[in-house]
Amino acid sequence: MKTPAIRALALALACLPFAAAADTVTVVTSFPKEITTAYKKAYEAKYPQDKVEILNKNTAAGIAYVREQAAGARPEVFWASAPDAFEVLSGSKLLAKIGPGNPAIPAKVGNYPVNDPEGYYRGQALAGYGLMWNTRYVKANNLPEPKEWADLVKPVYFGHLAISSPSRSGTTHLTVETILQGEGWTKGWEQLLAICGNSAAITERSFGVPDGVNNGQFGIGLVIDFFGLAAKNSGMPVEFVYPSVTAIVPANIALIDGAKAKDAGMRFIEFTLSEEGQMLLLDPKISRLPVLPSVYAKAPAGYPNPFGGQIQAKVNFDSNLSESRYYVVVSLFDQQVTFRHKELVAAMKAIYDAQKRLGGRKSAQLDEARSLVLTPVVDEKQAADPKLLALFKAKKTDAEASKAKAKVEEEWAAKAKANYARAVELANSAK
């Protein structure tokens, strides 16, 4: 039986205004704080009953994090630039179907679908890949301004470049894939290995490249467009260019299946695709390409417009191909470049020294040295082998597969190390 005091308390509580319980929207993203802070502030102002929690992780770590969470306890939103990451998540049944969304957003940019045809994720912004450089650095070091990826293989750029590791950066993986798809596997790797051999550093995170270019640590960096555009539009002494061999693809957003606050997660997604949310992309500190065409009418003069033909992207990016060989490509890059960068740089220097010493004379030894350095240790046929692809896609809990994968990677690393060492010997003795 309730006492008079308890009844009085219950009555008093019943008369209080109803306060809805706040929902927390947890967003897993690789985007820099300039973007995430702007969206968090604007969304919380519009929906004060919700709170936004940002979990900043590189793309691979973000995928792993979502996979590790139990259904009912997962974060709400996955937001990143790498379309193949969303294919990995949807293939693992970790995304909820959300449909196409805003009808004012075109179905395609060029030949590439803006939204997932199956309805599991949407394009929230567009992204291209290119080159940014520090104008003061380039002038001080008497370097030509680059226009194409192919420019960066030249000896004049030795020690002046920077790129991040695709295993740590989803945007760098897309840059690597764009080059591989645009140039073909063999020529693409030849170009990438030469560029990396000319690089002063392989950074652990994608923002390490633009930060280094902005402060003059590096002269030129391979970056996703918004790093270069945001720096330029914020007054940094940098320029940015889209090479002809580039692609324009969506940066996507998705609702994670088994999220704790599904409705709040959808509110956040819809907000990012509204005109209000799309306008945030034009902030000079963000400088991303909206997927809503009408927003470009309010953009500053000269702002790149992928719907207006201002960006000529020659690569019809195949996200299925990219997703199928994702783990092979990132591992191969690590074994030949990231973990062997010192040896790769030494081999390139030996080749350049030999070229200078020979004064343009042909040398079979030098040709062999170049071939050893610039040839991937895995050819295109091997990279497409279903057994190899399955091995690298296997879960970490599969002990047998993990052991077999480690053995393959050790073989790649050993071959790369031997090739670079032999290249140095050949270059030094070239006649």
- Three state DSSP letters for 29-91: ECCCHHHHHHHHHHHHHHCCCEEEEEEECCHHHHHHHHHHCCCCCECCEEEECCHHHHHHHHH
d(CA 57, CA 51): 19
Both structure tokens of 158: 């030795």
What domains sit in the chain, N to C, each tagged with a CATH number?
A: 22-126+250-298 (3.40.190.10), 129-246 (3.40.190.10), 325-431 (no CATH)
Going by pLDDT thresholds of 50, 70 and 90, the confidence category of residue 311 is: confident
* pLDDT score of 428 more than 70: yes
Widest distance between CA atoms in the chain: 105
Residues 228-278: pLDDT tens digits?
999 999 999 999 999 999 989 899 999 999 999 999 999 999 999 999 999
Picking from 246, 242, 240, 178, the residue whose alpha carbon sits closest to that of residue 209 is 240
* pLDDT score of 13 more than 90: no
* pLDDT score of 34 more than 60: yes
- The radius of gyration of the chain's CA atoms, rounded to the nearest angstrom, is 25
Task: Give me the residue label for tokens 């969506």.
Answer: 250
Give the distance from CA 233 to its chain's centroid. 21
DSSP string across 185-231: HHHHHHHHHHHHHTEEEEESSTTHHHHHHHTTS-SEEEEEHHHHHHH
Both structure tokens of 178: 């764009």
Number of helices and strands (H, E) in the chain? 18, 13
Contact 130, 163 (CB under 8 A): no
Going by pLDDT thresholds of 50, 70 and 90, the confidence category of residue 316 is: confident
Residues 73-84: pLDDT tens digits?
999 999 998 888
d(CA 168, CA 58): 6
Average pLDDT over the chain, rounded to an integer: 92
Residues 199-217: pLDDT tens digits?
999 998 888 999 999 999 9
Give the distance from CA 148 to its chain's centroid. 19
pLDDT at 312: 79
Any idea which of 6-10, 112-116, 410-414 has the lowest mean pLDDT?
Answer: 6-10
Going by pLDDT thresholds of 50, 70 and 90, the confidence category of residue 21 is: low
pLDDT at 18: 36
pLDDT at 242: 95
d(CA 204, CA 196): 14
